[in-house]
Amino acid sequence: DNDEASALAPRVLFENAHVVIINKYPNTSFHSEFEPGVVATLRASRALEGIDGDVFGVHRLDKQTSGILILAKSKDAASALSKAFEERKIVKYYVGVSAKKPKKKMGTVEGDMARSRNKAWMLTRATTKASTVTKFVSFGAQGANGAPRRMFVFKPLTGKTHQLRVAAKSLGAALLGDDIYSSGGAAFEFEAPRRLYLHAAAIRIPSLYDGFDAIQVICDPSDDGDEWDANAFRAHFPPSLANEFGEWFSDSPLLRSVLVVDDS
């Protein structure tokens, strides 16, 4: 379908026999709604390029969120990836930007999510098996025209709708461009942001079965929105980190991760 092919095809960050990993643009749906979704657009652009085979979704990003999205190229890869997500073997890092300082600079945001009003969710004080868990650190950064900003690195251990946006809101530092959780937002000298400043920045996938080797991808958001601080991002996620299959963030207990080695 030409409409689908002409929609902005997502940028492929990594591809092998098992997966295609793309950079999803902000404000694009996973599924086709009123316009072609990310999966349909990718399928159409691959068909145009004469690439055989289908792609299958194994996780998703909210419409407003940009960044790393994994699509499987076979049913086997899809089920192995889905299971690895469920078992929390896949490590994900997100970055976000706020105009406000959070109540605490780093820590863990934990709690059940409940519907509040309209499309919003809220964090409750209850913690159950269904609770969301988000580890985070934050630091000073520069936004558009040098404006003082707060940059977050989030390491979610669960994957619920709006989880990170609600976590930032609960810290008193709703993310820039968040039309649901930022009350009126910060005062902008120029214009309000055209996007939500939340981006899936890095992923670590362990070896899942014989022939499916570990994969690590970093995706820099800096060229898509002038509130990102490129230097701050690269200080935490230098491109070389993608080739480091050992421990990440060894000096930061909240962000530290190692790839699970499957001994079976």
What residues are labeled active site?
A: 62
**CA 92 centroid distance within chain:** 7
Give DSSP secondary structure letters for 27-95.
T--SS-SSS--HHHHHHHHHHHTT--S--EESS---TT-EEEEEEESSHHHHHHHHHHHHTT-SEEEEE
Is the separation of the CB atoms in 99 and 149 below 8 Å? Answer: yes
Q: How far apart are CA 261 and CA 175, in angstroms?
A: 35
Here the contacts of 244-251 (C-beta below 8 Å, separation 24 or greater) are 244/216, 245/214, 245/216, 248/91, 248/204
Task: Look at residues 131, 191, 194, 200 and name the one whose alpha carbon lies nearest to residue 166.
Answer: 131
Is the separation of the CB atoms in 135 and 155 below 8 Å? Answer: yes
Is the separation of the CB atoms in 203 and 23 below 8 Å? Answer: no
CA angle 72, 77, 79 (to 5 degrees): 105
